[in-house]
């Protein structure tokens, strides 16, 4: 028998990433394809299965322990359905687990993408060896995943860890979710860049003014670079975001009380410039009466966390015997 492998699939709004992953979380082979969600769920999932079959073609099926797929939510996980998703327009109650199982012949684990990424950091990433952790994925919005004693926190309605939509300002900035004052309105890099651009349009001076004029916009990395180069507006905007990220970390500390908090997503590419600021604000905001502060760290797996975590969940099911039971029962 050759080396055993699990298949991981990370279904995003723009790309589908598929990989063969070893028992210790190493990517042995990976394929990335553009997602075309508007072509309909069944077609996309059929193509997804074709990529999986292509990947495992060169391997004996006996060496594949299972398949894990991470998808945008909200899900109806117990029923194996993608409920709907802003990133997959038109998809509604898609039985992705059943379809993938039929089209690949593999046992399929199915998870929210943010949870899969959190599991990856816990399994073989920044949190290897901790009892549990919470990830904050600072991207278009703020995703999150919560691992407690090695298990994903799913919640009664299978929609836990939507920390991007906890409210940090009563009657604050309107959010696309319909609420006001959501954490992600203050902490997500997309909103940081939008906020800086608004201030410049309202007359604030900034070295980012030229980029705004020339390109019509910029991202949070541009804000970080301008801030590091001494631009006052950029520095203020970046700093405010880090204060809110720290507030989110304090709230996670006092609710979940995890051993570790992992900062991930596009914004974490700014590395120490993000981490140092967040740590500094966290230290000034949290209490000193009891020493229960989590370690604050950066993601180690970056954009591969989703696909590694999805495969990790297939490994977990295989090792716990859940997969073999499923097969025996079918």
Residues that bind a second copy (CB under 8 A): 74, 83, 130-132, 146, 148, 153-163, 165-170, 177-180, 243-244, 247, 250-252, 254-259, 285-292, 294
Q: How many CB atoms lie within 10 A of CB 309?
A: 34
**Choice between 14 and 257, CB closer to a second copy:** 257
**Choice between 24 and 149, CB closer to a second copy:** 149
Q: Name the minimum Å distance from CB 210 to a second copy.
A: 31
Is residue 51 within 8 Å of 17, Cβ to Cβ? Answer: no
**Choice between 14 and 255, CB closer to a second copy:** 255
Q: How many CB atoms lie within 10 A of CB 26?
A: 13
**Choice between 103 and 165, CB closer to a second copy:** 165
**Choice between 25 and 164, CB closer to a second copy:** 164
Residue 194 to residues 50, 70, 174, 214, 292: CA-CA distances in angstroms? 39, 29, 13, 16, 35
Q: Which helix (H) or strand (E) holds 116?
A: helix 113-124
What own/partner pairs with CB < 8 Å and gap ≥ 24 does 146-153 have? 146/115, 146/118, 146/256, 146/258, 147/118, 147/119, 147/122, 147/258, 148/256, 148/258, 150/122, 152/111, 152/115, 152/118, 152/119, 153/256
Q: Name the minimum Å distance from CB 6 to a second copy.
A: 26
Q: Name the minimum Å distance from CB 76 to a second copy.
A: 11
**Choice between 157 and 216, CB closer to a second copy:** 157
Q: Name the minimum Å distance from CB 313 to a second copy.
A: 19
SS3 per residue for 238-285? HHHHHHHHHHHHHHHHHHCCCCEEEEECHHHHHCHHHHHHHHHHHHHH
Q: Name the minimum Å distance from CB 251 to a second copy.
A: 4
Q: How many CB atoms lie within 10 A of CB 72?
A: 20
Q: Name the minimum Å distance from CB 92 to a second copy.
A: 13
**Choice between 95 and 132, CB closer to a second copy:** 132
Q: How far apart are CA 1 and CA 116, in angstroms?
A: 28
Q: Name the minimum Å distance from CB 311 to a second copy.
A: 25
146 closest CA partner among 28, 279, 289, 255: 255
**Choice between 48 and 126, CB closer to a second copy:** 126
User: Tokens in use for 240?
Assistant: 């405010």
Q: How many CB atoms lie within 10 A of CB 35?
A: 19
Q: Name the minimum Å distance from CB 328 to a second copy.
A: 26
């Amino acid at each position: 028998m050759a080396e055993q492998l699990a298949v991981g699939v990370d279904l995003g709004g723009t790309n589908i990433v598929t990989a063969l992953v070893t028992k210790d979380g190493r990517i042995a082979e990976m394929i990335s394809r553009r997602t075309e969600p508007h072509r309909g769920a069944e077609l996309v999932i059929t193509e997804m299965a074709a990529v999986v079959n292509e990947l495992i073609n060169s391997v004996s099926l006996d060496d594949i322990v299972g398949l894990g797929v991470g998808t945008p939510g909200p899900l109806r996980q117990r029923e194996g359905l993608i409920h709907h998703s802003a990133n997959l327009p038109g998809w509604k109650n898609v039985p992705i687990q059943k379809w993938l199982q039929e089209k690949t012949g593999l046992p399929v684990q199915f998870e929210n993408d943010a949870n899969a990424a959190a599991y990856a950091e816990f399994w073989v990433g920044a949190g290897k060896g901790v009892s549990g952790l919470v990830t904050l994925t600072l991207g278009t919005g703020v995703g999150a995943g919560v691992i407690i004693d090695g298990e994903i926190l799913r919640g009664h309605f299978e929609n836990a860890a939507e920390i991007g939509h906890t409210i940090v300002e009563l009657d604050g900035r309107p959010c696309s979710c319909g609420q006001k004052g959501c954490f992600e309105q203050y902490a997500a890099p997309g909103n940081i860049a939008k906020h800086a651009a608004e201030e410049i349009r309202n007359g604030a001076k900034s070295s980012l003014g030229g980029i705004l004029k020339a390109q019509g916009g910029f991202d949070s990395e541009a804000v970080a670079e301008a801030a590091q180069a001494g631009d006052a507006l950029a520095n203020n905007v970046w700093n405010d975001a880090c204060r809110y990220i720290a507030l989110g970390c304090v709230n996670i500390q006092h609710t979940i009380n995890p051993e570790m908090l992992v900062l991930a997503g596009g914004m974490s590419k700014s590395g120490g410039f993000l981490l140092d600021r967040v740590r500094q604000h966290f230290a000034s905001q949290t209490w000193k009466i009891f020493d229960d502060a989590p370690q604050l760290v950066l993601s180690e797996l970056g954009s591969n966390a989703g696909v590694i975590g999805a495969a990790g969940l297939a490994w977990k099911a295989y090792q716990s015997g859940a997969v073999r039971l499923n097969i025996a029962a079918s």
